[in-house]
Amino acid sequence: MKLRWKIGVAVILIFSFAVMPAVASESEFILKELQRADWEVRLMNGAALEKMREPQSIETLIELIDNRRIDWRLQIRGIRLLGKIHTPRVEDFLLRLFSDAFFHHGCPAVRSSLALTLGNFSGPKVVTGLIEGLEDPELQVREASIVSLGRIGDVAAVPYLIDQLKDMHFVIKVSAIRSLGLLRDARAVSSLEKIAGNAVEPLLKREASIALSMIRRES
């Protein structure tokens, strides 16, 4: 009787393990985390982010973002998460996506998110990529590129940002003025003085005056 009982228990256990779902893969885990309402707190502030910095996790996250079948909102979350992980592999991947029109075709939110995330990096390749973003047909992508060029602080962007002051869109002008203020380069003084003295919009005049004071303090 005892032997028959033991055999019965063994059969039940074997069957139970056979029908149990497999342990979630790392990609499934990351995807699930990105779907959580508190994903930024969990993944960007603590031990979870340290785990994400491991080479295997980075590659898994890159593979997920590069999957064009997943929801664009999750792609944006993944992109923002990668912006916290400063490695050459991550930088190259984000730059590749930013220059790949097919990846973000029809979704300027993804491309603008890439532009903002690239502002967490630095170096000639990143600056060149963002300068190219200034020619994007989508307003929000151009704005994001301008903002990131100001954050990076490379004065190579100054002539291109001065050109943006001629743009017809108010938000582009304001963003360019603010970024030029952050870059504190004297080449922008003449253009900013014209705006501070002649602009019709009070906000443009105020922002130009602030930017000029930042540049003059530097010199």
Domains and their CATH numbers in the chain: 59-152 (1.25.10.10), 157-219 (1.25.10.10)
Q: Is the confidence at residue 2, as pLDDT, over 60?
A: no
Please name the residue that has the structure tokens 């100001």: 150
* pLDDT value at residue 4: 54
> What is the tens place of the pLDDT at every residue in 13-61?
333 333 333 335 788 888 888 988 888 888 887 788 888 888 888 999 9
* pLDDT value at residue 24: 55
Q: Distance between CA 35 and CA 29 in Å, rounded?
A: 10
Q: Distance between CA 207 and CA 185 in Å, rounded?
A: 16
Question: pTM for this one?
Answer: 0.84
> What is the tens place of the pLDDT at every residue in 135-188?
999 999 999 999 999 999 999 999 999 999 999 999 999 999 999 999 999 999
Dihedral through CA 43, CA 106, CA 109, CA 95, nearest 10? Answer: 70
